[in-house]
Amino acid sequence: MAVDDTTLVVCYNRQVLNQTGAGHFSPLAAYHEESDQVLIMDVARFKYPPHWVPLTILRDAMLSIDTATGKPRGYLILKLRSHILPRLQSDISAHKSLFAPRLKEWEQFLAEKELNNEELEFKTVSAIFTAIFMGYIMFCDFFEICQNEEGEDECSNNCSNVQSMKPTNSSENICRKIQSLNTASYFTSISLCALLLAWPLQETSERERILKIRLENDLNKLDDKSLAKIMTIRRQIQQISSACKTDLKSVMDS
């Protein structure tokens, strides 16, 4: 139903599902083959939490005639554009309590013993990283960081301020550089690949040390402009991680 960069959204008539309302849009999250049901992640959670629906019933709900257009309903596929990179939410005051535990979960995973098989180890790292952070990154068009007369980043203290950035014509070229790296072959999303490449790893465990070496080998293959973009993301990660850890410590001490 959904992968890192693609989501299937259905338009259906709620009444066919014995629900209140009429025309409605919601994404699908999964398909259960044995029961032939799909999991609808209803966007109106105050009315209906995520729920399973037989595929045949959803089909009938999608084929119902829309009174406004006189045509059946249907579905659409949303796909992340290939020339964009991630920017973590800088204003995370609304969900620090959700983000901070994910950072802890990632740190706990890095502290665990690595797998003996190098290929399986990196596949596992990529899968865990995706599962933990996919829902917490914001995708945006690639921007050039504006610089002041001294050549310093004007947005270093507020990297979410889109107004302090300007579009760059080289965005697709930079993303192609990242996509050519070995790390990118383990992700369907360039955004997640860039996020992992930018992650400020230490060497507190053997797993983290091995991962750091592997990612640095790929980073060394980037040109200066692409590497600068990765370093911008790294600064954002460091700022947000620090804020989340401080917030989590305050909660634990209280």
User: What digits encode the pLDDT tens for the residues 146-171?
Assistant: 333 333 443 333 333 333 334 344 66
Strands 71-72 and 65-66: antiparallel
Farthest CA pair distance, the chain: 64
Comparing 49 with 113, the larger pLDDT belongs to 113
Contact 28, 39 (CB under 8 A): yes
pLDDT per residue as tens digits for the range 101-126: 788 899 999 999 999 999 999 999 99
> Quick one: pLDDT band at residue 141, thresholds 50, 70, 90?
very low
> Quick one: pLDDT band at residue 54, thresholds 50, 70, 90?
very high
> Quick one: pLDDT band at residue 80, thresholds 50, 70, 90?
low
Domain boundaries, the chain: 6-79, 92-146+173-253
> Quick one: pLDDT band at residue 12, thresholds 50, 70, 90?
very high
CA pseudo-torsion sign 103, 108, 114, 115: negative
CA distance 227 to 218: 10
pLDDT per residue as tens digits for the range 231-251: 988 888 887 788 776 665 555
The pLDDT of residue 221 is above 80: yes
For residue 58, what are the contacts with CB-CB under 8 A and spacing of at least 6?
10, 12, 17, 38, 40
Q: Where are the beta strands (DSSP E) in 67-197?
A: 71-72, 75-79, 84-88, 137-141, 143-145, 165-167
Q: What is the CATH number of domain 6-79?
A: 3.90.70.30
